[in-house]
A and B are shown apart, each in its own frame.
Chain A
Amino acid sequence: MQIFDRDTIAAISTAVVNSGISIIRISGDDAFSIADKIFRGKTKVKDMKSHTVAYGKIVSAEEEVIDEVLLIKMDGPKTYTREDTVEINCHGGVVVTNKVFHETVKAGARVAEPGEFTKRAFLNGRIDLSQAEAVMDLISAQTDAARRIAISHIEGRLSRAVKEVKDRIANVSAEIEYHIEFNDDDMEQSVIDRLILTLEECESSIKRIMDTYDTGKVHREGVNVLIAGRPNTGKSSLLNELLGSDRAIVTDIPGTTRDIIQDYANIKGVFVNLSDSAGIRDTQDIIEKIGIEKSYGAAEKADLILYMADVRSEWNEDDKEFFEKFNDKKILVILNKIDLASEEKVKEGSAVIEKETGRKPVAVSLKSGQGINLLYEKLEELLLPGKLDTKNQTVVTNVRHKNILETAYQYVKDSIRGLKENTPVDLVTIDLNGAVYRLGLLTGETASDDIIDRIFANFCVGK
């Protein structure tokens, strides 16, 4: 276990959802040098006057521009944490902010633990004792949260995948340690070659896990919810309702939405990645056809589908086809426009849908607001953690995890290079143990005794 006291930390410090501006805060001895690695402004951050603002661009390591930002520089101790602090105000929305944040981490900042800024503020004498109680609460809450996360579905899968690789690397390390501690002979080249092979497999395993983070940027954060249904049923209207803004164009022309429209919503406290899609129907229009194909693709990846139906139209072949394809998915059917139909008709429509799909629809009118509360309740229930089966989905959902995996990946790469270049094995173990330690942060196990136990379990030692 290792706890860093004075390293530089970073966090996104405004609520990410639906706010125009997000602030990324960096605090610690290296705050300025880290900022200088990613910020391109008129002057270098380290040369800026304290408590001034600069306009500039955030760039990636390849100098590709990610966002235009305002950056505030503050010399310690006149800051919240009493450490050197940089604040980056991003305007580009959630995805871009996440990207910028990721760059700060790549440049050397560590993702802050919950409450860590306040903790530092306290330890550095910035805030008083009464506030410290609150910090303690935060930290203990973190333990609870960690426990909850650990049992959640997504994290469970990550942890299983990572544990497998970690075990293999630890076994390689144990084998080398066995040769160091208990075997006077030189290590044979054939043994080294075998270890390299194993490590190369571990390298690609980590890469595969890591890459799940990048597949489909849409899936980066939160639960993926797709709105689908036939044209003109009110899908875009629902998107706008859930976002609380006029994000999508709504007209009475069927086939208005031609492409996936994606944005983030906070539904009853759950962070949702919400997509609206083109209405599905048999059509000759090439553009619309492509849009519909995309709808199907998105449905494939969705954790939850909200399927819209117009109360006035019959359940037709297009609807049936959709349910044939995606019947094993979590789908909530919404029967819309009930303001335009009699109660009788609504009941009748509901019955048909229940018979056809095995699912009880929620009847609403997005126009009059009828049934909307019920819809939200239903959604809240469905979005509860653990309720959604997210198979085939992103394993790595969190930038901190991604960051840890990247470091571990680098360590494994270095260890392979070391073995290939005949670097003495005692040095190679520094990289191997680095990788094992990092991966242990994800699985929650870190113990140096682990390697020693493996030596005794796997090898016959002793005089």
Chain B
Amino acid sequence: MTYIAGEYDVIVIGAGHAGCEAALAAARMGCSTVVFVMNMDRIANLPCNPSIGGTGKGHLVREIDALGGQMAKTADKAMIQCKMLNTSKGPAVYSLRSQIDRDKYRQEMKLVLEKQENLDIRQHEIVEILFDTDENQEKCVKGVVTNLGTVYYGKCIVVCTGTYLRSRIIIGDTVYDGGPDGEFPAARLSACLVKNGLKLLRFKTGTPARVNKRTIDFSELTEQPGDDRVVPFSFENEELEIDQISCWLTHTNEKTHQIIRENLHRSPLYSGVIEGKGPRYCPSIEDKIVKFPDKDRHHIFIEPMGRNTYEMYLAGMSSSLPEDVQVRMARTVKGLENVKFTRCGYAIEYDCFDPLQLKPSLEFKNVKGLFSAGQSNGTSGYEEAAAQGLIAGINSALKLQGREPLVIDRSQGYIGVLIDDLVTKGVSEPYRMMTSRAEYRLLLRQDNADMRLTEIGWKVGLVGDERYQAFCHKKEMIAQEIARVKKTTVPPSKEVNDLLISYNSTPISSGFKLEDLIKRPELDYFKLEPIDPGRQQLPYAVQEQVSIAIKYEGYIVKQLMQAEQFKKLENRKIPENIDYGKVEGIRIEARDILSKVRPVSLGQASRISGVNPADIAVLQIYLEQTRRRPKEEKSEQDD
């Protein structure tokens, strides 16, 4: 007899970064939720680099926080170093990156899950998803079966299996079935998914070796300390006091490259053992040397794995060469001459879904109540995973509440860009967030994520009233201060001109608008404080918004106009039941792709590769025709 262990609103499979956000969001929105994890001690593990944030990724963490997600708060707790990247490259691409104590991060996240009301955590491998048909004869989910044969029923299921599905570890010519970071693989679920008509892809990624700090000669390395000012990820933390730990920089050299070249034939990448598609942005060291033979050295960043450990991570040395080659090449590097490995670098191959099967809500088009988030959708990165987990969790809860799904659009957030790219274009390699993927990058800054998303998070029910009030107050302060600055004129006094000259700025000879001074390339809002007597003490976050809004007004307006145009097509919805076979005048090629992707709006349709502007125009007219037809036919009858 089957043991039926429980009945839940939402079942989350996997408790990595996607799974944690999904489970927390669903539970916080009032759904009874269970999350399954293969190993309780590996909740929210960071199996690759001990770091959260970075270009584009830091933006995602900010957005997760603005919507009421968890990652930013836990990262703030476990942060051991903070760096704001790209400060010389402009406000749109300022990116927060932190080094993370990964043991601490795991513990903190586990505790958050454990304390969360409505949420149960179970250590089990899920081997099967149970399907059913609903009252409309459509396929839907029913529950899951664990490796012990136990059944849990659920109305919605969120798959967050990361890199565990049918995963293989590859190190040189050694290949074995295994999950990331020494874990077991989830070997059986894939077969069930395929049997039920879901399309899987095979991807590959990798990680470098970890080494013992005691065996590194730091005297040869360049220290990479954190910033003086620590910026928290979470908007709810105004300040963070942390004792920062440095990273270290060294380089590969000709000897390293020679060893790699001599042993290429032993690399599974070149011998054909690896079938999965790997990411271009995260190549193994052997890839870099083959693709860029002219570069005589490559960076290696040595990053601490935490406060209470001697393990360090060799960023830049990702490799699937045999163990002996890995050790030998590491020891050619300055400072690592006598290094001892604790763990080998490896490549991992795993199954993931073709994300074209998903709606922008992250629910499967063909299975009601089945969602997927994270690396199982063909992405890479903790932050990308968490962002999707949050959205999938929110949308499973909204579905059960009978509400419209939450879809962040491309002009609202990187989360929107990420998910839209996945479900519109599909993936041909693990997908990484990059700021250059966002068309409206200047609008989607990391500093204004709350301005863009907190209200949405509040409406959804994840952001509490208190936080929402604080947010409204901040917004108000920003608006008032901008209005004040715009009204302020600066006199051509000696004091003013002295300050201007000190910044190499042309002195003024008559009254000058403060706003126009801020806009000068060499000046900003902060620098002009001494000659702005009307200024009140305002929180830093408010001042920052004012400074950017005024200084870059011209460019911001440009992007706002583009975004407005974009929204018009986004708002033209395509009915779910449209029959593209009936749309005359559309090219066959476009018809096939459209029937496959089934975009929800004309905007999404226009971004599918293989669909051209003329197809969109035809489609637009067809939609208008079908919208009007019933009406006109009716009025004909009335006549």
Contact = CB atoms under 8 A, between A and B. Distances in A.
B298 A456 contact: no
A1 B521 contact: no
Interface string B294-320: 010010010000000000000110100
A123 B86 CA distance: 46
Contact of A142 (B83, B434, B614, B622): B614
Interface string B195-212: 000000000000010000
A3 B315 contact: no
Given A122-B621, A421-B521, 18 more contacts: A2-B606, A6-B568, A132-B621, A180-B89, A182-B55, A182-B281, A184-B86, A186-B89, A187-B88, A187-B89, A430-B441, A447-B609, A455-B436, A456-B280, A460-B283, A460-B292, A462-B316, A462-B318
A370 B399 CA distance: 82
B439 interface: yes
B584 interface: yes
B315 A427 contact: no
Contacts of B93: 180, 426
A184 B291 CA distance: 22
B281 A1 contact: no
Contact of A136 (B566, B585, B629): B585
A451 interface: yes
B435 interface: yes
Contacts of B241: none
27 contacts: A1-B606, A2-B565, A2-B606, A3-B613, A4-B565, A122-B624, A123-B624, A125-B628, A129-B629, A140-B585, A140-B614, A143-B587, A143-B614, A146-B614, A177-B435, A180-B86, A180-B89, A181-B281, A426-B93, A426-B435, A429-B441, A449-B425, A456-B280, A462-B280, A462-B281, A462-B316, A463-B301
Contacts of B90: 423-427
A422 interface: yes
Contacts of B568: 5-6
A29 to B, nearest CB: 12
B621 A427 contact: no
A129 B624 CA distance: 9
B289 to A, nearest CB: 9
A463 B585 contact: no
A175 B612 CA distance: 28
B281 A461 contact: yes
A463 B316 contact: yes
Contacts of B442: 426-427, 430
Contacts of A6: 568
Contacts of A427: 90, 92, 442, 552, 555
B439 A460 contact: no
B352 to A, nearest CB: 20
Q: B56, B315, B616, B617 — which one has the most chain A CB atoms within 10 A of its CB?
A: B617
B383 to A, nearest CB: 14
A128 interface: yes
Contacts of A422: 521
A137 interface: yes
Interface string B48-83: 010000011000000000000000000000000001
A113 B435 CA distance: 33
A139 interface: yes
A180 B85 CA distance: 9
Nearest to A426: B90
B291 A424 contact: no
A463 B282 contact: yes
Query: Chain A interface mostly helix, strand, loop or mixed?
Result: helix
B569 A139 contact: no
Contacts of B130: none
Contact of A139 (B49, B425, B436, B618): B618
B291 A5 contact: no
B91 interface: yes
Contacts of B632: 128-129
Given A143-B587, A427-B92, A452-B434, A462 B86 contact: no
Interface in A425-463: 425-427, 429-430, 447-449, 451-452, 455-456, 460-463
B497 interface: no
A177 B5 CA distance: 52
A135 interface: yes
A136 B89 contact: no
B625 interface: yes
Given A180-B93, A187-B89, A426-B441, A119 B521 contact: no
Interface string B613-639: 110111011101100110010000000
A269 to B, nearest CB: 24
Contact of B288 (A119, A125, A460): A460
A179 interface: yes
Contacts of B474: none
Contact of A129 (B295, B613, B628): B628
Given A181-B434, A430-B442, A447-B609, A119 B625 contact: no
Interface in A333-353: none
Interface in A320-379: none
Contacts of B295: 460
B620 A123 contact: yes
Contacts of B628: 125, 129
A129 B616 CA distance: 18
Nearest to B611: A1
Contacts of B552: 427
A6 B569 CA distance: 10
B418 to A, nearest CB: 14
A451 B436 contact: yes
B616 A3 contact: yes
Nearest to A430: B555
A428 to B, nearest CB: 8
B607 interface: yes
Nearest to A437: B439
A128 B628 CA distance: 9
Nearest to B633: A129
B437 interface: yes
B56 A181 contact: yes
B150 interface: no
B283 A462 contact: yes
A462 B607 CA distance: 28
Contacts of B85: 184
B361 to A, nearest CB: 23
B585 A3 contact: no
A16 B569 CA distance: 34
A179 B434 CA distance: 12
Interface string B24-62: 000000000000000000000000010000011000000
A265 to B, nearest CB: 32
Contacts of A430: 441-442, 555, 558-559
A426 B521 contact: no
The 3 tightest CB contacts between A and B, nearest first, are: A424-B90, A426-B90, A426-B92
Nearest to B602: A3
A175 B191 CA distance: 43
A432 to B, nearest CB: 11
A423 B281 contact: no
Nearest to A4: B565
A180 B436 contact: yes
Nearest to B555: A427
Contacts of A125: 628
Interface string A103-143: 00000000001000001001101001100100111011011
Interface string B547-581: 00000100100110000011011000000000000
Nearest to B295: A460
Contacts of A448: 436-437, 439
Nearest to B587: A143
Nearest to B283: A462
B346 to A, nearest CB: 15
Interface in B420-455: 425, 434-437, 439, 441-442
A392 to B, nearest CB: 33
Contacts of A461: 280-281, 283
Interface in A126-181: 128-129, 132, 135-137, 139-140, 142-143, 146, 177, 179-181
